[in-house]
Structure 1
Amino acid sequence: MDEANTEAVLQITIDCADPARLVAFWAEALGYVPEPPPGGHATWREYWTSRGVSDDELPEGAGETAESIVPPSGVGPRVWFQQVPESKVVKNRVHLDLEVGGGREVPPAVRRERITAKVDRLTAAGATVSRVMDEPDTDYFGIVLQDPEGNEFCVG
């Protein structure tokens, strides 16, 4: 196999305490859907155990609901919410940017309206606003938020 021509498949993994909560939030944020378990299995836990993963290796409740989301179109990365025992304590080193404004060719007032509408939907779904980026000398407007477990992301 020629490794120089091997294409990597991107999956975004987010450590969290409550995968079901973040599946619901990020499905709303990204327009994704919860990923169904493969092979006709009723749950991901059932699928994992059919593949030889022991119950001892799975956290309590793991796999009983979807722990990943996928784009309905099939185009874009899978996002997996990995349950971990520790909570988030510092700023993310990597974050997601949700580009909803339409870019600089869209009039600033229209971009602001689109961004604000998305932020309103996300705060209703459990996000909190960290700060608004609205410099008077630029035509940029964006909002930094935190998901329900405190992970930072931007809407612009």
Structure 2
Amino acid sequence: MTGPEASEAVHDHGWRFLLGSLRTSVPVGSPAEAIDVAATASTVCGSDADRRLTVDARPHRVVLTPQSVDRAAVTTRDVELARLVSAAVRQTGPSTTGPETGTGAPRSVQSLEIAIDALRIAEIRPFWKAVLGYADEAGAGGPEDPLVDPVGQGPAIWFQQLDRARPQRNRIHVDICVPHDEAPRRIEAALAAGGRLVSATRAPAFWVLADAEGNEACVTTWRGRD
């Protein structure tokens, strides 16, 4: 599905579309309740749970992520599963809604990636794969493709091609993918905290920000990519 299609299809059900996946955060009051929510979601997804549903259960929050992992993308089936999960979880008490609708959570959903600038990506990629214990992204595996944590604990790693050496510029930065309508608030907060806007030429796909010493981070959304 395209970004606009996926975002529109799930927004009213309490889910948000990030890059390549759907995601929601369910507030809970205990580890036991978190496990119940995870079990409910898994049961509703049935046989699709093993290959389409990722669950991160914590004492106060359960993050659910439906995705067609083999394609690293969102399909109509993932949207269908998200809606089914919302209906089932709602019957047990919690709701698949983000903090912008009043749940009081510290923030909404997001995904984190680390970008590494390189002149010779194929040469350095094996090092990062080995030192992090990472694996090839589903459907990828080329000498310049992203790397992912096979157990889902760490951020994805991707490589940005340099055309020349830049010794005065940081070579590693983080990308924070947020729901498209939450990006302005995140950027305003970063600027108010002492950051500066380096570039908005690729917005709303991403904005480049930097701290007071020039270390960069990008706030990204799905918009401007289709």
Alignment TM-score > 0.5, same fold:
no
TM-score normalised by L of structure 2: 0.27
Where relative contact order (Cα < 8 A, 6+ residues apart) is larger, the structure is 1
- Greater fraction of residues in helix: 2
